[in-house]
Amino acid sequence: MTDTTKQDRVLIFDTTLRDGEQSPGATMTHAEKIEIAGLLDEMGVDIIEAGFPIASEGDFAAVSEIARLSKNSVICGLARAQFGDIDRCWEAVKHAAHPRIHTFIGTSPLHRAIPNLTMDEMADRIHETVTHARNLCDNVQWSPMDATRTELDYLYRTVEIAIKAGATTINIPDTVGYTAPRESADLIRKLLENVPGADEIIFATHCHNDLGMATANSLAAVEAGARQIECTINGLGERAGNTALEEVVMALKVRNDIMPFQTQVDSTKLMNISRRVATVSGFAVQFNKAIVGKNAFAHESGIHQDGMLKNAETFEIMRPEDVGLTETNIVMGKHSGRAALRSKLENLGYELGDNQLKDVFVRFKELADRKKEIYDDDLIALMRTATDPESDRIKLKSMHVVCGTDGPNVAKMTLIVDGAELSTEQTGDGPVDASFKCIKVLVDHSARLQLYQVHAVTEGTDAQATVSVRLEEDGRIVTGQAANTDTVVSSAQAYIHALNRLLVRREKGGTDKREISYKDAG
C-alpha cells in the first residue's frame, strides 16, 4: 500500500462560481451560489473563487455572503489590475475567516494590445496593483492571463515582479486551452528554475479544455512542481470548459502510485455536487463524462458484464461508492411513505425540512400515480424544481394539445399569473411550439429562446422527460427546468420556470446581470 503520510498536498481551487458561471446561460441565482459554495466548503475544497465582485451588485453580494458563511475554505474574489477592482474585491472577501484577493492582467502580445500598454508600463502596473492588494490582504494571488502564449523572458520578468510585490500564489493560466501536457510541465519547471523567489511561493495551474487536454495539462503541471489546481465542477466553463475538479481529484487518488500527491477533497461527495451544479446551471452532464457521467460505471458489453460479475476490478478502476454513487434500486412506489422518501433523498444528498418534504411528497405521489417504478434519477429530477423559491409567480393550471401528421397542432392552456386566471388557444409547427406560443401570449415578454433541450431521465416509455429552457432578455440569461412523464407538459413547465426567474431578475433591476465587460483570468 502506498504511504501517503509524507506526500505533498495539492490545493484544489474551485472556480465554478466565477469562471464556470461565465459559460453563456450558466448564470446562477444568489441562493444557488450560496448553496454550491456551502457544498464546496463541506467537501474539502481548499480555495473557493466565489465571484468577480466589481462585475455587479449581485456578484458583490454573493461573494460577501459566501465569505461570511464559509467555515473552512479560503474565499477568493477576482479583480482586474485596477485599484478600484482590488478595493471592491477586498470589501467583499474581508469578512471571510481566510480571505484571498486574486488579481490578473493579460501578458501575451495579444492581450497587451487591449489596454495598449508597453512591456514596461505593464510591468509597472503589475508592481503597483499587487503591492496594493498585499497591503490589504496577506493572501494574494496573481495571474498573467494567456501565460502560455506570453514570451518566456517577459513571463519570467512579470512573475518575479509579482512575487517581489507580495504575491503568495502565482497562477499560470492556459487561457485558450492551447498548450499540451509536455509544454505545461516544462513551463512550470522553467519558472521554478529561472525566477528568483519562485521556490517560496505556490504555483497554480489553470487550464481550459479547448483541445481536450485540460486535465492532462493540470496533472503534468503538478508533476513539474505546481501545487494548486484551478478547476470547476463538471468542467463547467467558457467555450469547451475548464479542468474538471472530479477528474483531477480521482486521477490523483486512483493513480497515487505514479502521482504521489494528496488532496483533502472528500471524493464521496462528488456525485452529489455534480448533480447540483448541473441542475442550477442548466448544463446537463454528458452520459460518458468521466467520473460523474451516467455511464461512467455502466457496463453493457457481454464480456464486460461477465467480468464484472466475477470480479468488479476487471473493468472498474474505482468503486462507484468512491464518488458517492449508490446503486440504483427500484424500491420506491406509490405505497412508499414520507419516512422512506426522506431516507432515500438523504442517501441522494438532499436534506429537507418538514415543509419541503411535505411539498416534495405530494409531487412524488403524483409521479407514482403515473409511473409505477420510481428510480433514483426520477427523484433527482423531481428535486430540480420542487424546492425552487422562484417558481410560483406563474403557474400552469391546465393544458391540452392536439397533434399529428394531419391538420394543425393546437394547444389550449390556462395559466395563473399573479393570482389571475388566463387562457388562450394557439397553433404551431408542433405541440411544443403551440404551447410556447400560448405562454408568450399570456405572459408578455421579449425574451429570446436560446436553448431547448430534452433528456429522458430513465428508460422506458413512461420515463420522465427533463426539459431545459434558456431565455435571454436585455443581457439577462435565465434557465428553467422541469420533469414530467409528458414531454409537452414538461416543456411548458420548464418555459414557465424560466419566465419566473426572469421576472425576479427584472424586479432586481439587473442585480444578477454582468454590468461590466471583462476578460477572465483563465
Mark the binding-site residues, compressed into ranges.
19, 206, 208, 242
Each residue of 40-61: b (16+ CB within 10 Å) or e? bbebbbbbbbbbbbbbbebbbb
Cβ within 8 Å of residue 512, ≥6 positions away: 27, 29, 30, 56, 58, 476, 505
513 in Cβ contact with 57 (< 8 Å): no
Q: Which residues share a beta bridge with 452?
A: 469
Q: Write phi, then psi, for 420 (nearest 5 degrees).
A: -95, 135
For 260, the grid coordinates are: 504521489
Instruction: Give the residue ranges of the annotated binding site for Mn(2+).
Output: 19, 206, 208, 242
Q: What is the dihedral of CA 458, 460, 464, 467, to 10 degrees?
A: 80
What is the chain's alpha carbon radius of gyration, rounded to the nearest angstrom?
A: 25
Percent composition of the chain: helix, strand, coil (DSSP 3-state, to 5): 45, 20, 35
* Count of Cβ atoms closer than 10 Å to residue 297 Cβ: 20
422 in Cβ contact with 415 (< 8 Å): yes
DSSP labels, 113-136: TTTT--HHHHHHHHHHHHHHHHHH
- Cα–Cα dist 164/172, whole Å: 17
**If you ran DSSP here, which 8-state letter would residue 208 be given?**
B
- Cα–Cα dist 275/285, whole Å: 8
Strand 74-80 relative to strand 47-51: parallel, antiparallel, unpaired?
parallel
Cβ within 8 Å of residue 53, ≥6 positions away: 59, 60, 63, 64, 77, 78, 79, 85, 88, 89, 91, 92, 93
165 in Cβ contact with 130 (< 8 Å): yes
* Count of Cβ atoms closer than 10 Å to residue 311 Cβ: 9
Q: Which residue has the cell 455502466?
A: 298
Q: What is the distance of C-alpha 143 from the center of its chain?
A: 21
